[in-house]
Amino acid sequence: MSKILDQLTFAVIIGNRGFFPSYLVAEARQDAAVVFDRLGINTLMLNEQQTHLGGVETWQDAKVCADLFRAHRDEIHGVVVLLPNFGDEKAVADAIRLSGLTVPVLIQAEPDALNKMGLATRRDSFCGKISLCNNLRQHGIPYTLTQKHVSALSGETFAADLVQFSQTCRLVYAMKGVRVGAIGARPTSFNTVRYSEKMLERLGASVETLDLSEIFTRVARLSDNDLRVGEKLTILKNNADASAIPAEKLHTMAKLFVVISDWVIANDIDTTAIQCWTSLQENLGINVCSIMSVMSGQLMPSACEVDVMGALSMYALASCSLAPASIADWNNNFGDDGDKCVLFHCGNFASESLENPTMGTADIIGTTVGCENTCGAVHGRMKAGPLTYFRLSTDDFSGRIKAYVGEGLVLDDPLDTVGCRAVVQVPKLEPLLRYICEQGFEHHVAMNHSATAGVLHEAFTKYLGVECYWHQRD
């Protein structure tokens, strides 16, 4: 079961400043309760008994607020600061600093109405937001801004800001403490997927390894009548049309699925990278693609060829958008169209993203190990729709983790080929490919049906300390 969060809790701070209308704080509490409840987000905030109107205005208020947040720090995934009036920028910054929270922070400021600019009704949140940002910057606290400088709590624009901020918080939470399972050794010729575990430790990610010999032993010991084998067999058949696959091959796949699942659960693994050729074909006579497809569909992404950084890239995409991610090769040009190309892999895409997925053989690998030993590859065309692509990589020469991200479209242009494939359109594709080659990125890229490039870019650059290039149209 995926550990990616679907329920979030935000700590909410309502700023106040005494010589501005304080009743606006009470209004903000009411409006905030409505929008957070509508979006299904839990909140934690001061009440009217703890501070004046539940706002934060003084040093004492900041301490009370910080104590509340510290007591619930393991439950908090983000901080939302509301400025119904100018607010006391120092007190708000102190509250966050004293709390010790290291989660994303969103800053909202309520707009003034032109017919309410008198002393009894004016807000000046427009100015207060600038002052608060200045103070947070001085404290070294990173923060996220709303689309508009001022945005009404009750408006749809702020609701959209909260949805996007939720994606950022979910991604940041997922990446802190993520555990990657590396199953088997990378194919010997795939130097491209080498990576640095030590750099990942700095990010908070750890890698657990498992040798394929242990997998084979456990598969051999597993009883054919184990109920879990039957359960996995049903899942595999439901994932893609498996009518063309011999029953004994499906049974072996199900046993392999049980063994992998047991190890994943026992070691709290979030995402896996598997040696998918050629040892599995030579020892078990099957491909692991369908198992990887199922796990990716369950938001526990699985990457080919022990591509650990690819698995992390998929996990970031999935945790951000709650949509299954797949890994593919930047594989083929699409005729003479410089903004289109083909993304391809033998058969590992999440079936939810495919049109009419079927289970077959991996004919390319089959040329060396025999097609009869490659049963389990998924075949299907990726559905048309939005596309976000993303790649993390460790760079030993600079001692840093780097990334690139962008958006495009999956098209339904005709393409006659096998495996998992997608015809994609990426604005300014040629400059992107040049960047990938010049920066020494891998040929693999994670992608899914979403429009989350901005979220990934902000989360990694601002909150996770990873340099990320955002490829955009302009």
What pLDDT is recorded for position 438? 97
Distance spanning both ends of the chain, measured CA to CA:
40
CATH topology for 179-471 is L-fucose Isomerase; Chain A, domain 3 (3.20.14)
**Type and span of the H or E element at 308:** helix 308-321
| Token code pair at residue 35 | 């929008």
pLDDT tens digit sequence for 212-230: 999 999 999 999 999 999 9
Helix axes 59-71, 89-99, angle to 10 degrees: 30
Whether the per-residue pLDDT at 2 is higher than 90: the answer is no
Contact 11, 278 (CB under 8 A): no
CA–CA gap between residue 79 and residue 132 (Å, rounded): 14
Pick the closest to residue 19 from 134, 152, 128, 115 (CA basis).
128
The yes-or-no verdict on residue 202 having pLDDT over 80 is yes
pLDDT at 187 over 90: no
Asked if residue 136 has pLDDT above 80, the reply is: yes
Q: Which of 181-190, 247-256, 334-343, 384-393 has the lowest mean pLDDT?
A: 181-190
H helix intervals, 23-101: 23-38, 59-71, 89-99
Q: How confident is the model at residue 465 (pLDDT cuts 50, 70, 90)?
A: very high
pLDDT digits (tens, 9 = 90+) for 276-329: 999 999 999 999 999 999 999 999 999 999 999 999 999 999 999 999 999 999
Q: Can you give the residue ranges of every domain in the chain?
A: 9-175, 179-471
Q: What is the pLDDT of residues 332-390, one digit of tens each?
A: 999 999 999 999 998 999 999 999 999 999 989 999 999 999 999 999 999 999 999 99
CATH of domain 9-175: 3.40.50.10940
**Helix residue ranges, H only, 342-428:** 363-369
Model pLDDT, residue 116: 87
The answer to whether residues 419 and 362 touch, using CB atoms and an 8 Å cutoff, is yes
- pLDDT, tens digit, for every residue of 164-175? 999 999 999 999
Confidence of residue 3 (pLDDT cuts 50, 70, 90): confident
**Mean pLDDT for the stretch of residues 122-140:** 97
pLDDT score of 19 more than 80:
no
Which DSSP category does 443 fall into?
Answer: S
Q: Residue 169: what pLDDT?
A: 98
Give me the residues paired with residue 108 across strands: 82
> Global pTM?
0.96
Q: What is the mean pLDDT of the chain?
A: 96
Q: Please give the Cα distance from 417 to 114 (Å, whole number).
A: 61
Q: Give the pLDDT band of residue 20 (cuts 50, 70, 90).
A: confident
Sign of CA dihedral 109, 42, 55, 99: negative
pLDDT above 90 for 21: no
pLDDT for 373 equals 97
Residue 90's φ and ψ, nearest 5 degrees, are -70, -45
Kindly tell me if the per-residue pLDDT of 121 is higher than 90: no
pLDDT of residue 140: 97
CA dist., res. 28 & res. 170, Å (int): 25
Share of the chain above pLDDT 90, in %: 94
Task: Let me know how long the chain is.
Answer: 474
Beta pairing partners, 420: 345, 380
- In the predicted structure, residue 40 carries a pLDDT above the cut 90: yes
Q: Where are the alpha helices (DSSP H) in 140-288?
A: 156-175, 197-203, 212-221, 227-239, 247-266, 279-283
